[in-house]
Amino acid sequence: MRYAVGIMSGTSLDGIDVALVKIDQESYKLVDFQSYSFEPEMKDKISRSLRKETSDVELICSLNFELAYLFGEAVLKICEHNKMASGDLAFVASHGQTVYHHPKNENGLVSSTLQIGESSIISEMTKTTVVSDFRPRDMAVGGQGAPIVPFSEYVMYRSQTSQRILQNIGGISNATIIPKNGSLKTITAFDCGPGNMIIDELCRHFYNEEYDRDGQYGSLGSVNEALLTEFMSHPFIAKPAPKTTGREEFGKQYVDEMLAKYPNVSANDFIKTATLFTAKAISSAVMPYLELPTELIVGGGGSYNPVLIQLLKEELPEVKVMIQEDIGLSSDAKEAVAMVVLGDRTMNKLPSNVPSATGASRDVILGKITYY
């Protein structure tokens, strides 16, 4: 029996999610989960690094180390909270902060991805081995480097009685489809489109708030059909899987364009329409793969938006829509736990990409190991 910590800092920029996990052979049990919010100054730095207009190499170079110190501190905090020494961990698995993800050769750019948060710093602070930088190896064999979590979902969620769709709704929404009694090779996974990203940007724009807590603004709005049609006409929605997206397509620049194009749509109507867009993007993406009975299990921050969950139920009436808590697990901790599963595979020299999900030409061992 061993213990490890997974670190996730996602596209929502909420902060650092940290999961302490007990590993017993191929069994992974969440012991503790903590989330540490970014200070406003740090969040602003990260936001600037993600936008072409404000990013520069000096900023990204510094952030690579600044974030690593925060990641290391987060590991120390969760270990202290559980009265254990970080040096006793088998490893720390760090996803890092995605700065840019360009999954295909286009616009004069080579297929590539960049996650920052220097593993050497984390290793020195925690006095243990760090596994990091999981996406590039999949891309080296022709994959898109995303989605990153399907292997962990197969290990932890496969069912003998129904098809299961693991629907993560973070900044971006992504689905992993596990057929009933399915093998790893039968998994399908892909990004569906925006998750909370557009909703969050609208809340910042209209209310100076980071997100729509409990769907309060969306619940007060009405759907604007013209805006919804515009949202659904985004080219990504019609793309076939495997496909992946990010802030590059659905971030602040896109939201600003929509706000300029629809200046007369009220704040709450904008937010309600964006919420329905997220639900419709998910339903249209998973619909071709449905094999009833199906359970769609939602994780990530979007699982706590009751308006979004209700809209999903309405879009997928034949599907049993649940959240992680309905099956005794944590929506918030899901991706941080997934990092531990991937890190464990890497430490054991075993592959953990899913070519049927990413488009990779073969199975590969993900990540880089920084030994202490």
Binding-site residues from annotation for ATP: 10-17
Q: What is 191-245 written as a DSSP string?
A: EEEESSHHHHHHHHHHHS-SS-GGGHHHHH----HHHHHHHHTSHHHHPPSS---
Residue 67 near residue 59, CB atoms below 8 Å: no
What is the spatial distance between Cα 201 and Cα 91, in angstroms, rounded to a whole number? 35
The three-class DSSP label of residue 181 is coil
**β-strands 294-299, 163-169 pairing:** parallel
- From the list 262, 267, 253, the residue with the least C-alpha distance to 225 is 262
* Residues annotated in a binding site: 10-17
Task: Report residue 74 as tokens.
Answer: 């987060």
Q: Check residue 106 and report its DSSP letter.
A: B
Q: Is the peptide bond before 293 cis (omega within 30 degrees of 0)?
A: yes
| C-alpha separations of 33 from 29, 204, 220 in Å | 11, 27, 33
